[in-house]
Amino acid sequence: MPDSHDDLPIPLYSAAQVRELDARLIAAGTPGFELMQRAGHAAWRALRRRWPDAGALTVLAGRGNNAGDGYLVAALAKRAGWLARVLAVCNPAQLQGDAAKACDEARQAGVEIQPWRECARLEGVLVDALLGTGLSGEVREPYAQAIRQLNASGLPVMAVDIPSGLSADTGRALGVAVRAELTVTFIGLKLGLLTGDAPDCVGALAFADLQADPQIVAGLPAEAVRLAAGNVARLAPRPRSAHKGRYGHLLVVGGDRGLGGAALLSAESALRSGAGLVSLATRSEHVPAALARRAEVMSVGVSSANQLLALMERVDVLVVGPGLGQAAWGRSLLSAAARGARAQIWDADALNLLSVGAASVPANTVLTPHPGEAARLLGCDISAVQADRPAAVRALARKYAAVAILKGAGSLIADPDGRLAVCDHGHPAMAGAGLGDVLAGLVGGLLAQGLPPFEAACLAVWLHARAGERLAVQGRGLAAGDLFPVVRQLLEEHAPCLN
Ligand SMILES: NC(=O)C1=CN([C@@H]2O[C@H](COP(=O)(O)OP(=O)(O)OC[C@H]3O[C@@H](n4cnc5c(N)ncnc54)[C@H](O)[C@@H]3O)[C@@H](O)[C@H]2O)[C@@H](O)CC1
Ligand SMILES: [K+]
């Protein structure tokens, strides 16, 4: 898992936007080669900080400016007395512009430059300077083979700017991608470093602004934002005169036979996030168990849409779908739910029923699909969703005029107004049953307390992922309900209940 990303910038850029930033900085008077030298220095500093005693490095270099950065790292290492070698996948005679200058500098420093071969000997820290933001399409040979060799070497790898093969726009490995232990990225943080295949490729992530003029950088609107303590919404502190009526009444609808736990987890999650009142509409046979586990949740058995409509008259927020099933009971409750409440969260089977046209999405709804549900909603294959997660979540938000959360490593949140946020927290120990039910309840609990849908979704995703990270120090076997006390604690640290 990545080291803490707390010191990384908030704006996230596409490859085209980073190219535009480079161009604007150059036009404003910083020569491209100067930027490349700063990149080389930043990468070398980061490498030495992580592997101070390695004493040797091998740079795998391609043909663009990413290779130029790599040649300069080799030159700096050689001048510092390290053993420094470049294995050139592209004949150095074909290099152009700044990359050619960087190659000359490496030669002058005494770096050994050899053509790359499959059987080439690798030693020391490996520096991946094969492909950067100029990558287009699936990785071609011999680059793919060089990447496979690097991954199979068992040696530590530092990626320059982005692991080669990873799309800076989508985080997808385009055929094959470098799996780095450290990635040092320049000027603008790329969206593709945080989602999709990125968590398995990027390793620890370091950012170097290359002394770019902040005004020039700020002048270019970003593609997305990274969720961090500084930019997720805060619930307002509560006045001493607070009463439960001010913090919303939330109703969870779900829990068909055999699926009762999911709805109860959502209800408990909403309660633990601070919702004023929480009700649960479920199969009547689940009511005794629900009451025994959480007496604070008003659990009611419903068998018809009319019963649900009567309950809905008293509530502000609905969470529909956890354990709802896709049979007649769930269908009738979903179509009743679609007719009311100030705000709704549609999760799990509500999304599966939506994908077959069983109901339409009301205003102010948050959809919380995992990639499989997203694929059903978009009528495509799951691999198409994962190939471009930012595009998929935006498409969902547009299609349903709703805030959409696309779950999975590097969760994304899209608003139909165009806003996009990415969460780079979380842990593979969170891949387990019930975690989604907890998230849905959390979004609902925050909506009930007055946050707008996009803000509630972002805060919920961030709290949920951070809580999972904290708990994952104990490893596998995380139970969804374990999150409740940690979410409470994080929420209190982030937005104290009392001033
Ligand atoms: N002034 C600048 O523009 C700066 C650029 N920097 C570096 O420059 C990089 C971008 O440089 P470039 O735009 O030259 O691009 P790259 O260095 O990523 O390389 C592009 C080249 O890779 C090859 N290529 C593209 N797609 C491929 C594929 N699918 N399979 C195999 N080969 C493929 C093509 O020959 C293409 O010319 C950044 O990632 C960063 O490392 C840094 O030096 C900072 C300053
Ligand atoms: K690279």
What is the model's pLDDT at position 5?
67
What is the model's pLDDT at position 4?
58
Say if 330 falls within a structural domain: yes
- Cα separation of 477 and 99, whole Å? 49
Judge whether 451 and 441 are in contact, CB under 8 Å.
no
- Select from 14, 409, 423 the least CA-distant residue to 226: 423
Dihedral sign (CA 305, 308, 310, 312): negative
Query: Of all protein residues, whose CA lies closest to atom 41 belonging to ligand 1?
Result: 66
- Select from 181, 187, 57 the least CA-distant residue to 133: 187
> Strands, DSSP E only, in 383-430?
403-406, 412-414, 420-422
Query: How many structural domains is the chain composed of?
Result: 2
| Partners of 86 in the β-ladder | 59, 113
| Partners of 207 in the β-ladder | 185
Question: In degrees rounded to 5, what are phi and psi of residue 428?
Answer: -60, -20
* Percent above pLDDT 70 for the chain: 99
- Ligand 1 within 6 A of 143 CB? yes
Complex ipTM more than 0.95, yes or no: yes
Checking if the pLDDT of 245 tops 90, the result is: no
- Ligand 1 within 6 A of 11 CB? no
Instruction: Looking at the structure, tell me whether residues 37 and 147 fall in a common domain.
Output: yes
Identify the band that residue 119 occupies on the pLDDT scale cut at 50, 70 and 90.
Answer: confident
Checking if the pLDDT of 120 tops 90, the result is: no
39-86 residue pLDDT tens? 999 999 999 999 999 999 999 999 999 999 999 999 999 999 999 999
Is residue 74 packed enough to be buried (19+ CB in 10 Å), middle (13-18) or exposed (0-12)? Answer: buried
Quick one: which ligand is closest to 173's CA?
Answer: 1
Instruction: Looking at the structure, tell me whether residues 267 and 219 fall in a common domain.
Output: no
Question: Given the structure tokens 């982030």, which residue do they identify?
Answer: 494
Instruction: Looking at the structure, tell me whether residues 152 and 258 fall in a common domain.
Output: no
Residue numbers of the domain that contains 412: 244-494
Q: What three-state secondary structure class fits 139?
A: coil
What is the model's pLDDT at position 1?
40
Instruction: Looking at the structure, tell me whether residues 88 and 201 fall in a common domain.
Output: yes
- The one-letter code for the residue type at 224 is A
Look up the CATH number of the domain holding residue 482: 3.40.1190.20
Instruction: Looking at the structure, tell me whether residues 250 and 219 fall in a common domain.
Output: no
pTM to 2 decimals? 0.96
Look up the CATH number of the domain holding residue 218: 3.40.50.10260
- Cα separation of 483 and 474, whole Å? 13
Last residue of one domain, picked from the residues 176, 193, 224 = 224
- Select from 131, 124, 30 the least CA-distant residue to 80: 124
Say if 239 falls within a structural domain: no
Say if 4 falls within a structural domain: no
Instruction: Looking at the structure, tell me whether residues 181 and 304 fall in a common domain.
Output: no
Within 10 angstroms of residue 493's Cβ, the number of other Cβ atoms is 10
Average pLDDT, integer, range 31-38: 98
Instruction: Looking at the structure, tell me whether residues 354 and 460 fall in a common domain.
Output: yes
- Ligand 1 within 6 A of 137 CB? yes
| Partners of 56 in the β-ladder | 83
What is the model's pLDDT at position 2?
43
Within 10 angstroms of residue 105's Cβ, the number of other Cβ atoms is 21
Say if 439 falls within a structural domain: yes
Question: Ligand 1: distance of its center to the CA of 90 in Å?
Answer: 12
* Percent above pLDDT 90 for the chain: 96
445-464 residue pLDDT tens? 999 999 999 999 999 999 99
Radius of gyration of the chain (CA): 25
387-418 residue pLDDT tens? 999 999 999 999 999 999 999 999 999 999 99
- The one-letter code for the residue type at 323 is G
Say if 379 falls within a structural domain: yes
Checking if the pLDDT of 3 tops 70, the result is: no
Instruction: Looking at the structure, tell me whether residues 219 and 251 fall in a common domain.
Output: no
Instruction: Looking at the structure, tell me whether residues 442 and 400 fall in a common domain.
Output: yes
Last residue of one domain, picked from the residues 193, 224, 255 = 224
Checking if the pLDDT of 349 tops 70, the result is: yes
Last residue of one domain, picked from the residues 173, 189, 224 = 224
Say if 199 falls within a structural domain: yes
Question: Given the structure tokens 């295949």, which residue do they identify?
Answer: 197
Identify the band that residue 274 occupies on the pLDDT scale cut at 50, 70 and 90.
Answer: very high
What is the model's pLDDT at position 68?
98
Query: Of all protein residues, whose CA lies closest to atom 31 belonging to ligand 1?
Result: 140
- Cα separation of 199 and 425, whole Å? 10
Instruction: Looking at the structure, tell me whether residues 420 and 475 fall in a common domain.
Output: yes
- Select from 150, 192, 184 the least CA-distant residue to 49: 184
- Ligand 1 within 6 A of 339 CB? no
Instruction: Looking at the structure, tell me whether residues 277 and 211 fall in a common domain.
Output: no
Question: Given the structure tokens 């232990």, which residue do they identify?
Answer: 181
- Cα separation of 417 and 377, whole Å? 19
Say if 75 falls within a structural domain: yes
Say if 118 falls within a structural domain: yes
Q: Name the residue of 131, 145, 158 to mutate for ligand 1: max ligand atoms within 8 A of Cβ.
A: 131
Checking if the pLDDT of 28 tops 60, the result is: yes
Average pLDDT, integer, range 16-26: 97
Identify the band that residue 494 occupies on the pLDDT scale cut at 50, 70 and 90.
Answer: very high
Instruction: Looking at the structure, tell me whether residues 215 and 268 fall in a common domain.
Output: no
